[in-house]
């Protein structure tokens, strides 16, 4: 029998960090939002680890086209297509490569024996 195929996910995390050149040694530097920027990390996985579930801010199930986790849901960001479009626009090459590779491995894992 073939192996169970795990769904593919987009997993994103965000961290607030100082902009380059900001004098972080000066008191109150964090009080000015112009001194801060979001650092985004995105990866694609087959299946989810418990660590992904705990650490990620956004998780999209690409195969079921659903939001698994979204830290901005309270602010109205709960449209799967809109969120997916954002990642596709910014990471299309990486996403396309991952999808192609995972499609090939899925084709290989399908049970082709006659019963």
pLDDT per residue over 9-30, tens digit each? 999 999 989 988 888 888 988 8
For residues 110 and 6, the model is more confident at 6
Q: pLDDT at residue 64 above 90? A: yes
Residues 6+ apart with CB under 8 A from 60: 9, 10, 66, 67, 68, 80, 83, 84, 87
For residues 72 and 86, the model is more confident at 86
Block residue for tokens 């000066």: 26
Closest CA to 44 of 85, 97, 4: 97
Token pair listed for 16: 């607030």
Give the predicted TM-score (pTM) of the model: 0.77
Q: How far from the centroid of its chain's Cα atoms is residue 82's Cα?
A: 14
Q: Average of pLDDT values for 26-47?
A: 91
3-state helix, strand, coil in the chain (%, to 5): 40, 25, 35
Q: Average of pLDDT values for 26-53?
A: 91
Backbone angles phi, psi at 78, to 5 degrees: -135, 30
């Amino acid at each position: 029998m073939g192996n169970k195929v795990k769904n593919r996910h987009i997993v994103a995390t965000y961290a607030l960090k100082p902009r380059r050149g900001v004098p972080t040694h000066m008191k109150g530097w964090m009080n000015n939002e112009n001194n801060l920027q979001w650092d985004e990390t995105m990866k694609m996985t087959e299946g989810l680890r418990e660590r992904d579930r705990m650490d990620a801010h956004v998780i999209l199930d690409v195969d079921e086209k659903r939001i698994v986790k979204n830290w901005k849901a309270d602010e109205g960001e709960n449209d799967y297509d809109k969120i997916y479009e954002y990642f596709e626009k910014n990471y299309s090459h990486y996403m396309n490569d991952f999808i192609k590779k995972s499609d090939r491995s899925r084709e290989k894992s399908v049970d082709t024996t006659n019963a």
